[in-house]
């Protein structure tokens, strides 16, 4: 347990409980958040982390329990009230006005501050950025910034409001390795100046690197709380969090490769410039880069959502147009989208109907659909893929992120694809779900070629046979994942630096 501190906490959560229908997200949680400390909040998907922090940030109210701010019991009816109390949250999806400057975004919404002279605003924001090591040009347009710089603007917005408690929700997801270290340096400066920071992350090595203490949630309960100095390894953290051994070093056995299942030659499309890459059957080619560098247009043209403007794309030996005129449901191409709740599934439909979204043809005879056979197949398949569900009649939107992703993967692999496009397959997932997803992809590699789009370098290096680095729509380099010298250059390549 975290030892008692002499000074009172900035925030004390006492007996917090919150339910949504029959699902209890938080159960009698008590937690202290102290000035000058970085507290990591860990837990599997669905453990209750986001709900707890949303209560603290004023988005939800607890069913039971108290939120105490500096010793006083407080009720937040809105995020605005939480911000006024000094509590701010940086979400994974930034809320910035792209056409405005950094300084204008920082002061936006501040009574009496937006109409100050631009020079004075720039000076104030510049001093704040320098103080907390959040390097960004106050006069730059937000639309011109990298993802890391945009994140710094979100943090500066809270610091400008003199927030004393900052909640960072999976902040490293969109960052390069260099930007991650810059963020950690800024977090240390903020905590040294007396700020309290809550760091939500699934990346245990990052928790070990930057946190002072850690609290672990499991099924809505706090099951462990300790100083990070008391933790011996990420392996121990994983065991405490999941309750079993986790091995995020899958056995990537070498297998023989076959024909090209995907080939792009000199493709131009929107931000994509002269893109050439290939994927062979039996291998995984991981495209890595910070979000917003052309990955989305690349996914859209390969998945058939939009035709390429220029260049040649060959899928399973067919030109792009011919392939999408005659694509089949079986032994063909499958796409695992990043947006698992909006694009990969229909959250309002039940699990059985979600299974049929891409497999319907197999259970149809003319105009007739054998729904009973389909549901029996879905039930058996979901159990094989360890999807935790109470009934096929449950809505997809009720599943945790990890279970929803396993459902999508189970459904698509049921089709025995020859080419798989997997977009950010473990993003936002806990370590246990990530382990399962990685193993399923490696198993699929035995009969398919996989193009993996990921911003997680650990994922790329754990799964891929080839690494392709993309920056501002251009391929910076492609090399074997086993080439350690090349691997060491990934960070600079993701930032656009090339020898």
Q: Is residue 250 part of a domain?
A: no
Residue at a domain's end among 207, 242, 277: 242
Instruction: Looking at the structure, tell me whether residues 211 and 305 fall in a common domain.
Output: no
Mean of the per-residue pLDDT values of the chain? 91
Q: Is residue 389 part of a domain?
A: yes
Instruction: Locate 336 and state its tokens.
Output: 């695992």
Alpha carbons 280 and 303: distance in angstroms, whole number: 17
Burial class (CB in 10 A: 0-12, 13-18, 19+), 487: middle
Instruction: Looking at the structure, tell me whether residues 363 and 417 fall in a common domain.
Output: yes
Bridge partner residues of 265 (DSSP)? 312
Q: What is the CATH number of the domain that holds 314?
A: 3.40.50.300
The arrangement of strands across the sheet holding 419-423 comes to 333-336, 419-423, 449-454, 284-288, 466-471, 474-480
Q: Which of 460, 487, 112 is nearest to 287 (CA)?
A: 460
Report pLDDT digits (tens) over 49-76.
989 999 999 999 999 999 999 999 999 9
Domain that holds residue 203: 11-242
Evaluate if residue 390 carries a pLDDT over 90.
no
Residue at a domain's end among 213, 242, 271: 242
DSSP run (H or E) holding 157: helix 147-160
The answer to whether 218 and 45 have CB atoms below 8 angstroms apart is no
Instruction: Looking at the structure, tell me whether residues 136 and 177 fall in a common domain.
Output: yes
Instruction: Looking at the structure, tell me whether residues 213 and 312 fall in a common domain.
Output: no
Q: Which of 199, 126, 208, 195 is nearest to 167 (CA)?
A: 199
Q: Is residue 249 part of a domain?
A: no
Instruction: Looking at the structure, tell me whether residues 181 and 237 fall in a common domain.
Output: yes
Number of domains in the chain: 2
Euclidean distance between the first and the last CA atom of the chain, given in angstroms as a whole number: 49
Q: Is residue 82 part of a domain?
A: yes
| Number of other residues whose CB lies within 10 A of the CB of residue 437 | 23
Mean pLDDT is lowest, of 86-90, 169-173, 292-296, 360-364, for: 169-173
The answer to whether 143 and 98 have CB atoms below 8 angstroms apart is yes
Report pLDDT digits (tens) over 298-326.
999 999 999 999 999 999 999 999 999 99
The answer to whether 28 and 17 have CB atoms below 8 angstroms apart is yes
Report pLDDT digits (tens) over 433-458.
899 999 999 999 999 999 999 988 88
The answer to whether 173 and 428 have CB atoms below 8 angstroms apart is yes
Alpha carbons 127 and 130: distance in angstroms, whole number: 5
Instruction: Looking at the structure, tell me whether residues 397 and 471 fall in a common domain.
Output: yes
Residue at a domain's end among 210, 242, 274: 242
Q: Work out the percent of the chain whose per-residue pLDDT is above 90.
A: 70
Per-residue burial over 354-393, b = 16 or more CB atoms within 10 Å of its CB, e = otherwise = bbbebbeeebeeeeeeeeeebbebbbebbeebebebeebe
**Predicted local distance difference test score (pLDDT) of residue 3:** 44
Alpha carbons 459 and 442: distance in angstroms, whole number: 12
Per-residue burial over 269-283, b = 16 or more CB atoms within 10 Å of its CB, e = otherwise = bebbeebebbbbbbb
Q: Which of 489, 413, 404 is nearest to 448 (CA)?
A: 413
Instruction: Looking at the structure, tell me whether residues 237 and 280 fall in a common domain.
Output: no
Q: Which of 225, 202, 221 is nearest to 24 (CA)?
A: 221
Report pLDDT digits (tens) over 405-435.
999 999 999 999 999 999 999 988 888 889 9
Q: Which of 479, 474, 476 is nearest to 464 (CA)?
A: 479
Instruction: Looking at the structure, tell me whether residues 138 and 178 fall in a common domain.
Output: yes
Q: Is residue 157 part of a domain?
A: yes
Evaluate if residue 34 carries a pLDDT over 70.
yes
Instruction: Looking at the structure, tell me whether residues 92 and 215 fall in a common domain.
Output: yes
**Distances 286 to 281, 331, 473, 486, 491 between C-alpha atoms, Å:** 14, 22, 15, 14, 15
Alpha carbons 319 and 471: distance in angstroms, whole number: 26
Q: Is residue 5 part of a domain?
A: no
Please, what sign has the CA dihedral across residues 462, 465, 471, 477?
positive
Instruction: Looking at the structure, tell me whether residues 182 and 217 fall in a common domain.
Output: yes
**Predicted local distance difference test score (pLDDT) of residue 424:** 93
Q: Is residue 3 part of a domain?
A: no
Instruction: Looking at the structure, tell me whether residues 281 and 179 fall in a common domain.
Output: no
Instruction: Looking at the structure, tell me whether residues 156 and 300 fall in a common domain.
Output: no
Alpha carbons 334 and 389: distance in angstroms, whole number: 24
Q: Is residue 124 part of a domain?
A: yes
Instruction: Locate 159 and state its tokens.
Output: 């610091």
The residues near 15 (Cβ < 8 Å, ≥ 6 apart) are 28, 29, 30, 64, 65, 66
């Amino acid at each position: 347990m975290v030892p008692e501190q002499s000074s009172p906490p900035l925030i004390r959560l006492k007996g917090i409980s919150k339910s949504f229908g029959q699902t209890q997200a938080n159960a009698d949680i008590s937690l202290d958040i102290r000035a000058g400390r970085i507290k990591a909040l860990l837990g599997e998907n669905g453990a209750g982390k986001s709900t707890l922090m949303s209560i603290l940030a004023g988005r939800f109210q607890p069913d039971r329990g108290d939120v105490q701010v500096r010793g006083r019991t407080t009720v937040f009816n809105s995020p605005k009230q939480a911000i006024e109390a000094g509590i701010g949250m940086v979400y994974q999806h930034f809320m910035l006005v792209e056409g405005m400057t950094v300084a204008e975004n920082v002061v936006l919404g501040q009574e009496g501050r937006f109409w100050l002279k631009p020079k004075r605003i720039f000076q104030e924001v510049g001093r704040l950025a320098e103080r907390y090591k959040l390097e960004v040009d106050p006069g730059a347009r937000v639309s011109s910034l990298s993802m890391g710089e945009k994140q710094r603007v979100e943090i500066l917005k809270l610091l400008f409001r003199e927030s004393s408690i900052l909640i960072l929700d999976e902040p490293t997801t969109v960052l390069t390795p260099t930007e991650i270290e810059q963020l950690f340096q800024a977090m240390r400066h903020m905590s040294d100046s007396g700020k309290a920071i809550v760091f939500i992350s699934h990346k245990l090595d990052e928790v070990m690197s930057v946190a002072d203490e850690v609290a672990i949630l499991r099924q809505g309960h706090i099951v462990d709380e300790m100083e990070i100095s008391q933790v011996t390894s990420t392996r121990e953290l994983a065991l405490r969090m999941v309750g079993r051994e986790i091995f995020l070093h899958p056995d990537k056995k070498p297998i023989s490769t076959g024909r090209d299942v995907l080939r792009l030659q000199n493709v131009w499309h929107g931000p994509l410039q002269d893109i050439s890459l290939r994927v062979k059957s039996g291998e995984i080619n991981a495209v890595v880069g910070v979000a917003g560098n052309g990955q989305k247009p690349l996914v859209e043209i390969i998945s058939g959502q939009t035709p390429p403007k220029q260049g040649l794309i060959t899928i399973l030996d067919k030109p792009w147009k011919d392939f999408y005129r005659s694509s089949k449901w079986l032994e063909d191409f499958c796409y695992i989208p990043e947006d698992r709740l909006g694009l990969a599934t229909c959250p309002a439909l039940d699990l059985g109907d979600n299974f049929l979204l891409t497999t319907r043809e197999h259970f149809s005879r003319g105009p007739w659909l054998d729904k009973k056979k389909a549901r029996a197949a879905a039930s058996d398949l979901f159990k094989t893929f360890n999807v935790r569900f109470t009934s096929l009649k449950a809505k997809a939107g009720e599943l945790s992120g990890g279970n929803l992703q396993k459902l999508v993967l189970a459904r698509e692999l049921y089709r025995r694809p020859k080419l798989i496009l997997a977009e950010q397959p473990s993003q936002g997932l806990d370590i246990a779900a990530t382990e399962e997803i990685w193993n399923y992809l490696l198993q699929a590699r035995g009969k398919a070629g996989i193009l993996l789009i990921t911003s997680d370098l650990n994922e790329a290096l754990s799964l891929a046979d080839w690494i392709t680095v993309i920056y501002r729509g251009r391929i910076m380099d492609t090399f074997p994942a086993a080439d350690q010298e090349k691997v060491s250059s990934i960070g600079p390549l993701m930032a656009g630096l090339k020898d």
